[in-house]
Structure 1
Amino acid sequence: MTRTWSGISVPGMLFALLLAGLPTAATARQAPVVEAPAGTMSGEMLDGDIRAFRGIPYARPPVGRLRWKPPVAAARWDGVRDATRFGPACHQPPSRPGSIYAPDQPLPMSEDCLSLNVWAPADAVGAPVFVWIHGGSLVAGSGREPMYDGAALAARGLVVVTINYRLGVLGYLAHPQLSEESADGVSGNYGLLDQVEALRWVERNIAAFGGNPGNVTIAGESAGALSVMYLMAAPSARGLFDKAIAQSAYMISMPALRVAAHGAPPAEESGLELSRKIGVRGLPRLRAMDPQELTVKAATSGFFPLGNVDGEVLPYQIVDAFDRGAQAPVPILAGFNDGEIRSLRFLLPPAPADAAAYEAQIRKRYGELADRMLQRYPPADLDAAMLATTRDAMYGWTAERLVRKQTALGQPSFLYYFDHGYPAADSAGLHAFHAAELPYVFGTRALLSSNWPAVPGTAAEAALSDAMLGYWAGFARDGVPAAAGAPAWPAYGEARAYMAFEQAPVPGEHLMPGMYELVETVVCRRRAQGDLPWHWNVGVIAPPLPEGSAGCP
C-alpha cells in the first residue's frame, strides 16, 4: 500500500526533496570525489568521516607480452572512475584447507591485479601516508583482505594505502630469455618492481587525497616485511619512502641471478628447471599459459618465489646491504611474535625421540657452540625448544638486526616483542602466533575470518589495540611511536630497549639476552663458507657448523 504525506506518495516526496535540494540520508553521505593526476574517481564515505577509494589501477595489466616485464604506469583515465569496489587479487594457489589464514570466500583473481586502495580522513591535508604491503610468502594474499581495512588507522590521521603486487611464478620468475629481453639484462623481481611502481603512484597522486608525499611510511608483515627490506635495499625505491615498519621480517639468504649462492642454484637455472618440470618450453608458450594453471603448477612443482640478487634491482644480499650501510637511511620499527612458529609448524623438523637424542643432535651439529645452544634452547621441553630455535633464527634475529643496523646509521629505531595471548588462540596452542598482532595494529578485530581464533570483545583487548594503533600512527606521523595513555617507547639504543605487548604494553631492556649474538655467529659462519643457506635449517637439522672464520664471532 502506498503511503502519502500531504497528497504526495512517499517515493514522490523523496524525489521532490531531491529536486528542492533539501538534505536526505542519501545526500548527507554523498560519495566523495577526488581529482588526482591519475584521473577523477568516486569513492565511498564511511563512518567517522573517512573516505575510501578502492581498486585504483597503478600499472597496466601485465598480460600477454607484458607478463614478466617491469610494470608500466597506468594511463590517466577519462571521466569519473567508480572506486567503490576492490580490484581482483593477483593469481595465487588455493588456500590450504583448515588454515587460520584462509579467507572465508575464494578471492577473485586476475592478471589485471595491479591496483591499490586508499582510506583518508575527509579533512586530511598534508597527512602522513602509511603504505601497507601484505604478507603471504610472496605466494598469496592481497590488499583487499578485511584485516587490512585502513579505516581505524585513517581515523588516527593517516592516509592509508594497501597494494597488490604480482605473486609466485608470475611475480618472481627469472629465466635466461627474460634476461635477454631486459634492457638491464636481468629478470625476476617483478613483484618487487610492482611495489616500487605503487610507491611512484603514491608520490604522484597521494596529495589529492590529503596525504603528504614527503612523509611516507612503508610497512608490512611476514613477506610484506621481507618486501620492506627489499625496498630498503633497492636503489630504484630510494627517496620514495621516509620510514619503515617490518613486522615478523625474515632476512634469509637469497638466490643470485646467474651464479649459485648460499646453497641456492642460479635463479635463471631455477626458471629453466621449472619450465622442464611443467613441460612447457620457451617464453611464447609460457606466456600463453592460463595464469592460474601456471601458478598452481609452479607451486606444486616446488617453485619458491624470492627476490634475486641481480646487480640492478637488488645489488646485494639483504644481509650484505645492511652490513655495508647501503640500505635506505630511515627510521625503523621492527619486531616479532613469541609464537611465530606455532601456526607455521611445517617449518619444524621431525622431533627427536627424547631429550637425549635432541642433545646428541645439537652437539653433533653445533660443535663448540653446542653448550650455548643447549642453554638457550634446553631439551626439558622439546616442543618449546624447537619452536623457539626456528622462531629466533628467522624472526627474532632479523628484528633485532634491523634495529641495530639502523641505529648504527644514526636513525631512530624501535624494537617490539608481541607476547599477547587470549583464550581462543591459547587454547588452540597458538599463543601470539604469526600475524596475531595485525588485528590490533589495524583495529580490525571484528573483521576477521571465521578461521581466525576469535578475539574477545573486551575492554582490555580494545585498550591494547588502541595503544598499538596509537604507536604505529605516531611512528608514521613523526618517527616516534607514541600513544596517548600508554608507556613511552624508548628507542633501541645502547640499552637495547624494546616494547613488549603482553596484556598491555610493557617497556623493557635487552630482550632475550644472548639470542641475537648466538644466531649472528651461526649466520656469519654460514655466510663465510658461502654454500649454506641460513633460515629454518637450524636445530636438529642444521648442517655441521663451519669453523670460525675471520670477522665472525
Structure 2
Amino acid sequence: MPNIRHFVSLLLAFGGAALALQPAMALAGPAAETVVEAPAGTVEGVAGNGIASFKGIPYAAPPTGDLRWQPPVEPARWDGVRDASEFGPACYQPTVPGAANSIYHEELGPMSEDCLSLNIWAPEHASNAPVLVWIHGGALVSGASSFDMYDGSRLARQGVVVVSINYRLGALGFLAHPGLSAESPQDISGNYGLMDQIAALRWIESNISAFGGNPQNVTIAGESAGALSVMWLMTAPPARGLFDKAIMQSAYMISSPALKEAEHGHVSAEAMGTWLQEQLDAPDLAAMREMAPGELVNRAARAGYLIWSTVDGKLIPNQIAETFDRGAQAPVPVLAGFNSGEIRSLRRLLPPAPATSSGYEAKIREAYGDLAEVFLALYPADTIDESMLAATRDALYGWTAERLARKQTLLGQDGFLYLFDHGYPEADKAGLHAFHASEIPYVFGTIHETAPNWPKIPRNAQERELSDAMLQYWATFARDGQPRAHGQPDWPAYGAQAAFMVFDETPQTGTRLMGTRYALNEAVVCRRRAAGDQPWHWNVGIASPPLPPRAEGCQ
C-alpha cells in the first residue's frame, strides 16, 4: 500500500415560503415543546423565538451485525411520540492522541453504529419553505452533525428549513471488498456513507413537508469532505431528482480508485479492502463484522487505511472530472468557492520544503517539464513557503471551485463562484488568515459558537454584518438559485466574464479569479488523466512526480 500515514493523521485531526432579506437576529428566550406528525412517525421537538428544532431523527435502521457494510435500510415507522430534543450519537470514528489540540476539535459525545440520524431547524408555521441539507466535513473519517458551528437556527430565521445529517465514516462507511461485492446484487461495494446520504435525501423527500419544507426545492450543501460528497451526489444516478441546487465549500475534485482494477495510480478499492482485512488479522468478513466498531476504526486508522470513494460503475459511474467533462452531472445551479488560506491549517498536506530556492526550482523543473516556467512564475522560488501553500490550495480547492462554476455554465445552469479572504486578529496572529473551514460560522451565523480551540472571532458589528450577508446569500440561493443580501452587491453568475464574489471585510465582486492558475492545473490534470497512471490530489509542486508528456486535447 502507498505510504499515506502522514495524510491519514491530518484527516483525523480536523476531522416557496416568503424569505425575508433581513439581518440575522440573536436567538434567546423561552423554549417549548412542539409536535409534528410525519409519515415516518410523530416527533416532539423544541420551539422558541420562531424556530422549531427536531434532533436525532433516524432516517435508516442501525447498520449493525449483518447490516454492517450493507446499503442503508429504511426504518420501520415508530409508535408513539419520539423525543427529538437531543442530537443522536455520532458515527464511529478514530480516537487520535493529540487531536484535542486541533483547532477543529469538538467533543463528540456518544458514538454508535446506530448513528444514521438527521436534525431539522424550521421556522415555526413554515409552509413550502426551501430546504438546505448540510453534509458535514471531516475527511470522511471524522465529524458529526451535532457540532455547535452547524446549528441551523439563524439560517432558519431567513425562512429556510435546515437539515443536517450523519453518515457512516471511515472503514465502516467506505470499505470495498471482494466479499462484499459478491454479496451485492450489483456486484459493487464501498460508498456506504454516500448511500446513507442518498437515503437521508429520500427521507427528506417523503417527510420534510410535515416540517414546513418543500421537497421540490432542496439544496444540498457541504464543506471539504461534505463538498466532495455533494460532487459525488451530483454524479450519482440514484441521487438524481432528490435535490435542486448544490453548494460546495472547499470541494476537491480528486481522483478515486476503481472498484476492481488499478487505475490512475490507485490500487483497486477491493484490493485496499483485502489489505485492511489482513491488517486487522481477520480470517473473513464475518470476523470483521464481529469486531467492536471502535476497535475496527482505530486499528484501520493506525494501519494507514485511507478513505476514498470508489468508482464502481453504478453509484459512481466515472471519475468526477470525467462526469463533469461529459456534462453528465446533475443539471442544477451551483454555488462553489474556496478560502485563500486553505492550507495554512492543513500544513501536513505539504512535503518538507527544500532548503534553498535553487533546490525548489530544480525540483519544479524536474517535475513539470515544459510547464515549469509557468509554474515558477505563479509560485516562485523566492517565497517557497507561500508558494507551496498557494500551489496546493489552487490545485485542490481553487481549480475545483472554478471548474464547478465553468462546467455548470456550459450546461446552461448558473454557477456562483466565491473566494473567502477574510481574516481577523486572532486567526491572522496565528498565521491562519482565511484558513480551511473558517467561512462556515459566517455562513451559519454561528461566529461565536465555534469549536473550543478555534481562533476567536471578535464580538463586533463588522463581523456580524459579514456573517449576516453570507447567510443571506446562502439562504436566497437555496430559495430561488439567486444569491442576494440586503444592502450588499448583487452576486453575478460566473458566465462569460468569469465573475466571482470575494468575502473580505465586505462582499465585493470581481472577474477572472484563477486565470492562469486554472489553466495550469487543468493542463496538469488533463495529462495525468490521459496517461492513466498518476492520481490528481495533493501531489503538487515539489511533491509531484514527473508529469506525463502533453497528450491530445491537453495543453
Q: Normalising TM by the smaller chain, what interval? A: over 0.9
- Matches for 1:151-166 after TM superposition, within 5 Å: 151-166=153-168
Moved more, 28-37 or 299-308: 28-37
Distance 1:178 1:545 in 2: 36
Q: 1:98 aligns with which of 101, 109, 112?
A: 101
The answer on whether the counterparts of 2:108 and 2:144 sit within 8 Å (CA) in structure 1 is: no
Equivalent position amino acid for 1:141 in 2? G
Q: 1:304 deviation in Å?
A: 1.1
Change (3 A) 1:86 1:518: same
Match in the other structure for 2:26: none
Aligned to 1:445: 447
Question: Which of 516, 534, 537 lines up with 1:535 in the alignment?
Answer: 537
- Counterpart in 2 of 1:18? none
User: In 2, distance between residues paired with 1:247 and 1:261?
Assistant: 28
Deviation per CA, 1:110-152: give whole Å up to 9, x if none.
Answer: 0000000000000210000000000000000011111000000
**1:297: Cα distance to partner?**
0.6
Cα distance in 1 for residues equivalent to 2:523 and 2:138: 29
Range 360-369 or range 221-230, more displaced: 360-369
Give the secondary structure class of the aligned counterpart of 1:40: strand
Amino acid at match of 1:55: G
Structure 1 residue 191: Cα displacement? 0.2
Q: Which residue, 242, 245, 261 being the options, matches 2:244?
A: 242
TM-superposed deviation, 1:485: 0.6
More contact order relative to length (CA 8 Å, sep ≥ 6) = 2
Residues 52-99 of structure 1: CA deviation (Å, up to 9, x unaligned): 000000000000000000000111100000000100000001252411
Instruction: Quote the offset at 1:106 in angstroms.
Output: 4.1
Identity %: 62
Q: SS state of the match for residue 367, structure 2?
A: helix
Q: In structure 1, what is the Cα distance between the partners aligned to 2:531 and 2:521?
A: 16
State the match for 2:136 in structure 1: 134
Moved over 6 A (4+): none
Question: Which SS does the other structure have where 2:448 is aligned?
Answer: helix
Q: SS in structure 2 opposite 1:526?
A: helix
Deviation at 1:467? 0.3
Q: Distance in 2 between matches of 1:535 and 1:266?
A: 17
SS in 1 for 2:335: strand
Query: Which sits farther off after the overlay, 63-72 or 271-280?
Result: 271-280
Alpha-carbon distance, 1:514 to partner = 0.5
* Per-residue CA distance 1:23-75 (angstroms, 9 max, x = gap): xxxx98531100000000100013x2100000000000000000000000111
- Structure 2, unmatched stretches of 5+, are 1-28
Matching residue's letter, 1:318: I
Q: Which amino acid aligns with 1:534?
A: W
- Report the counterpart of residue 49 of structure 1 in structure 2: 50
Report the Cα offset of residue 307 of structure 1.
Answer: 1.0
Larger Rg: 1
Q: Distance in 2 between matches of 1:449 and 1:174?
A: 33
Equivalent residue for 1:475, pick from 468, 477, 483: 477
> Pick from 457, 460, 470: which aligns with 1:458?
460
Report if aligned partners of 2:399, 2:514 keep a CA contact under 8 Å in 1: no
The 5 A counterparts of 1:29-178 are: 29-46=31-48, 48-95=49-96, 96-103=99-106, 105-178=107-180
1-side partners of 2:363 and 2:100: how far apart? 34
Of residues 301, 304, 318, the one that matches 1:302 is: 304
How many angstroms apart in 2 are the aligned matches of 1:136 and 1:371? 36
Aligned to 2:369: 367
Corresponding letter in the other structure for 1:267: A
Q: 1:201-220 CA distances to partner (integer Å, 9 max, x unpaired)? A: 00000000000000000000
Q: Which amino acid aligns with 2:518?
A: Y
Structure 2 counterpart SS, 1:107: coil
Q: In structure 2, how many angstroms separate the alpha carbons of the residues matched to 1:449 and 1:215?
A: 31
Letter in 1 for 2:103: I
Structure 1 partner of 2:6: none
Q: What does residue 5 of structure 1 align with?
A: none
- Does the Cα contact within 8 Å between 2:398 and 2:514 map onto a contact in 1? no
Aligned residue for 1:508, secondary structure, equals strand
Counterpart Cα distance in 2 of 1:28 and 1:174: 48
Matched with 2:12 is none
Where do 1:124-273 residues align within 5 Å?
124-273=126-275
The C-alpha deviation readout for 1:417-468, integer Å capped at 9, x for no partner, is 0000000100000000000000000000111122100000110000000000
Amino acid at match of 2:282: V
Amino acid at match of 1:229: M
Q: Secondary structure at the match of 1:32?
A: strand
Question: Which letter does structure 1 place at the counterpart of 2:174?
Answer: Y
1:258 aligned counterpart, secondary structure = coil
294, 316, 334: which is aligned to 1:332? 334
Give distance in 2, aligned partners of 1:107 and 1:518: 44
Correspondence for 1:23: none
Tell me the equivalent position of 1:501: 503
Structure 1 Cα separation of the partners of residues 193 and 105 of structure 2: 22
Per-residue deviation, 1:222: 0.1
Scaled by the length of structure 1, the TM-score of the pair is: 0.94
Please report how far the alpha carbon of residue 470 of structure 1 lies from its aligned counterpart in structure 2 after TM superposition: 0.6
The answer to whether the 8 Å contact 2:402/2:514 transfers is no
1:62 maps to a residue whose letter is P
Contact 2:134 2:164 (8 Å CA) reproduced: yes
The match for 1:426 is 428
TM-score in terms of structure 2 length? 0.94
The number of aligned residues is 525
| Superposition map of 1:266-281 within 5 A | 266-281=268-283
**Aligned mates of 1:532, 1:480 — CA distance in 2:** 38
> Which AA in structure 1 matches 2:54?
F
The 5 Å alignment of 1:301-320 reads 301-320=303-322
What secondary structure, in the 3-state scheme, does the structure 1 residue paired with 2:149 have?
helix
Answer whether contact 2:334 2:415 (CA < 8 A) is retained.
yes
2:486 aligned partner: 484
1-structure distance, mates of 2:352, 2:307: 25
Q: Distance in 2 between matches of 1:501 and 1:479?
A: 19
Correspondences of 1:316-395 after superposition (within 5 Å): 316-395=318-397
Which stretches in structure 1 are left out of the alignment for 5+ residues?
1-26
Q: Give the aligned partner of residue 20 of structure 1.
A: none
